[in-house]
A = this chain, B = another copy of it.
Amino acid sequence: MVVGYQRYLELIADLTAGKELIASGMTHEVQRCRTALRRAAEGAAVALISSGDAGIYGMAGLAIELRRAEGLDVPIEIIPGVTAASAAAAALGAPLMLDFAVISLSDLLIDWETIRRRLEAVAAADLVIALYNPRSTRRVRQLEEAVAIFRAARPGHTPAGVVTDAGQAGQSLRVTDLEHLLQEEIGMRSIVIIGNSTTALLDGWMVTRRGYPV
């Protein structure tokens, strides 16, 4: 059987024909995961679906935590996937060629002070950054603050990119720069990538140069 967020199950409908499906809403991660574990404990072979990589802002950690909290002795295998930062980078060119950081701007489960401190450290260390959950309808201030932090450490012409629905049908992308980044349409399903001092725009692609003698 296959357990997942409704939208993700729709995306893999071609793979699940004939299988039992349990879909749930966006904010029901714990309930969804508990259902998967309990059914597995009863003997079912259960696939718990995340988009991208289940181990990066996905369901893998929660599954291990809940398995323990519920005292369920079920085997778990975690299948890695292509995380949204990789899919977005491939669409934009090759901005993650070298050292980078991945930070989510959602402060639902982590306090903003911690996130802000991480952004400042990454900005100062000239790391390329991939931002997950950059903005939602109700949460807009965090992205503004993140861009201000990078703007204080990097020139306005630093390449930046936005990819929405990375790697999926309907993917859209924009290559811009740090100064104009906030003018782009950025939402919950977008990934924002901000380059560093060696990131360049080459023939429309965003590339962080690795330093090969070319």
Contact = CB atoms under 8 A, between A and B. Distances in A.
B205 A64 contact: yes
Contacts of A47: none
A98 to B, nearest CB: 7
Contacts of A44: none
Given A64-B202, A97-B61, A55 B86 contact: yes
Nearest to A117: B125
B94 A78 contact: yes
A144 interface: no
Given A90-B55, A203-B67, A214-B69, A99 B118 contact: yes
Interface residues of A, number: 66
Nearest to A79: B90
Contacts of A51: none
Interface of A: 29-30, 53-58, 60-69, 78-83, 86-87, 89-91, 93-104, 109-110, 114-115, 117-118, 120-122, 124-127, 167, 202-203, 205, 207-214
A80 B87 contact: yes
A65 B214 contact: yes
* The 5 nearest A-B residue pairs measured at CB: A61-B94, A121-B125, A109-B211, A61-B97, A80-B90
A90 to B, nearest CB: 4
B65 A53 contact: no
A212 B93 contact: no
B68 A203 contact: yes
